[in-house]
C-alpha cells in the first residue's frame, strides 16, 4: 500500500489514530489505546510490511505506560495531598456525571463538565469527611495537579506514539 493509496483499513487506522489523539484530552476516551488500535488496523491493511509486530509491540508498551502513568500519577499526587479513596471514587463518579450533563456543549462541554464535576465531588466529600474547607481545598488541589500532570505525560506519550508510527510509515 502506497502512502497516498487509500483503502478501508488505512482510512479506519487514520481515523482511530485521530480519535486517539482527541481521546488524550477527552475524558473517558482511551487515547493511547485507540492510537495503538489504529496502528494495528493500518498495519493489517498494509500486510504488516512497514509497521510490523515489533513496532506494534513498542506502541503497545507505550500505550500501557501512558495508561499506567495516568492512574499512578493522579493517585500518587492525590494521596500525597491527603485525598481519601472515598473522595477519589466520588471524583470519578462526579466527573463522569459532569461530562454527561454538559455533553450538549460540543467538545469543551464534556471536558469542562468532567473537570468541574470531579473537582466539586472531591471538594464535597473531603469537606464532609474532614470538616475543614482548607483541608478539602488542599486535597482537591492535589487531585487537580495530579490529573494535570498525568494528562501532560499522556499527551507526550501519545505524540511519541504517533510520531513513531508515521516515521515507520513514511521511511
* Chain centre to alpha carbon of residue 30: 5
CB 84 within 8 A of CB 126: yes
Q: Which cell goes with 99? A: 461530562
**pLDDT tens per residue, range 137-153:** 988 888 888 888 988 99
pLDDT of residue 109: 82
Listed by start position, the domains of the chain span 8-170
| Residues of the chain with confidence (pLDDT) below 50 | none
Give pTM, 2 decimals. Answer: 0.81
pLDDT of residue 12: 94
Amino acid at each position: 500500500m502506497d502512502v497516498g493509496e487509500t483503502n478501508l483499513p488505512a482510512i479506519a487506522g487514520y481515523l482511530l489514530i485521530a480519535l486517539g489523539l482527541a481521546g488524550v484530552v477527552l475524558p473517558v476516551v482511551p487515547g493511547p489505546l485507540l492510537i495503538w488500535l489504529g496502528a494495528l488496523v493500518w498495519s493489517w491493511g498494509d500486510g504488516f510490511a512497514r509497521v510490523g509486530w515489533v513496532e506494534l509491540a513498542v506502541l503497545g508498551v507505550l500505550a500501557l505506560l501512558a495508561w499506567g502513568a495516568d492512574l499512578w500519577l493522579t493517585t500518587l499526587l492525590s494521596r500525597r495531598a491527603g485525598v481519601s479513596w472515598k473522595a477519589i471514587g466520588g471524583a470519578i463518579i462526579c466527573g463522569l456525571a459532569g461530562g454527561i450533563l454538559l455533553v450538549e456543549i460540543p467538545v469543551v462541554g464534556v471536558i469542562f463538565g468532567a473537570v468541574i464535576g470531579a473537582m466539586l465531588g472531591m471538594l464535597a466529600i473531603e469537606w464532609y469527611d474532614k470538616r475543614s474547607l482548607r483541608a478539602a481545598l488542599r486535597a482537591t488541589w492535589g487531585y487537580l495537579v495530579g490529573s494535570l500532570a498525568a494528562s501532560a505525560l499522556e499527551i507526550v506519550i501519545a505524540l511519541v506514539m504517533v510520531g513513531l508510527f508515521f516515521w515507520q510509515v513514511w521511511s
